[in-house]
Amino acid sequence: MKTATRTLRIGHQVYDLGVQPLIMGILNLTPDSFYEGSRLGLGQMLDIAAQMLADGATILDLGGYSTRPGAADVSEQAELDRVLPAIEAINQHLPNAVISIDTFRASVAKVAVRAGAMMVNDVSGGQADPDMLGYVAAAKVPYVLMHSRGTPATMQSLAQYQDLTYEVVQELRGQLAQLHALGHYEVLIDPGFGFAKTIDQNYQLLAQLRDLELLGCPILVGLSRKSMAYRPLGITAPEALNATTVLHTLALQNGAGMLRVHDVKPAAEAIRIWQLYQPYHRG
């Protein structure tokens, strides 16, 4: 079995995600994010970004295009109009923040990186834009390669698998091979919870998360307040913080090295408790 690396270089900093899992704080600059509490205006965004950093986030993930199931299309210019002022404001007021641009468009990623973003988080895994993988390799920026199928409008009809985890790994392997052929190795793997997967499939994938280590990359998980946390409990996304923390703990125990979250302080506390537990764990 290939040994998964746990290190990630962002700019001049190298992080060991096996020792210190990182937190990526979600900043949705959209009017229709699935979680209403993360829909932000610019002034509010800056205050929340500062609090996220104080609470333990290393990375701020800025998105101007909602990828919730059934989300409407947004033009490239509208996406840029949402994210660029935020990047500029964070660079000016929070210069130590690591900014990630959450986009599947290479053109948006390029402008965002020029403006100060340091990594790219692509929910399509390079499938939505044929120029994306070539761009991130040329720019030498860390890249989150996420598993998904179809588009936000169609993905829930594409959740048919014969062998879920095997197929997720194989589908990601193809995009990862393209990046490696381009000489790019600063890659995080995201299994894409909720993207072309049922709730039961999400839980199966979470239990088998270590199988993704076959790809040799650190693992990022996006579990925060998703339907797998609240629907089985008969609650709503705003009520799903406790369930999210349980999911984060399970993900850490199963090999996750980065948590993408709405609520940074509880995630940081989960990481700390997990770290205290690890020296005594016999698994």
For residue 243, pLDDT over 70 is answered with: yes
Q: pLDDT tens, 245-274?
A: 999 999 999 999 999 999 999 999 999 999
Q: What percent of the chain has pLDDT over 70?
A: 93
Range of the domain at 30: 18-278
**Is residue 3 domain-resident?**
no
**Is residue 2 domain-resident?**
no
Indicate the average pLDDT of the chain. Answer: 92
State the pLDDT at residue 42.
75
Q: Indicate which residues carry an active-site annotation.
A: 226, 260
**pTM (predicted TM-score):** 0.93
Q: 114 in the Ramachandran plot: left (φ > 0), alpha (ψ -120 to 50) or beta?
A: alpha
**Is residue 9 domain-resident?**
no
**CATH number, residue 241:** 3.20.20.20
Q: pLDDT tens, 70-126?
A: 666 789 999 999 999 999 999 999 999 999 999 999 999 999 999 999 999 999 999
**Is residue 38 domain-resident?**
yes
Tally of domains in the chain = 1
Q: pLDDT tens, 116-144?
A: 999 999 999 999 999 999 999 999 999 99
For residue 180, pLDDT over 50 is answered with: yes
CA distance readout (Å), 179 to 89, 127, 144, 202, 211: 31, 13, 12, 26, 20
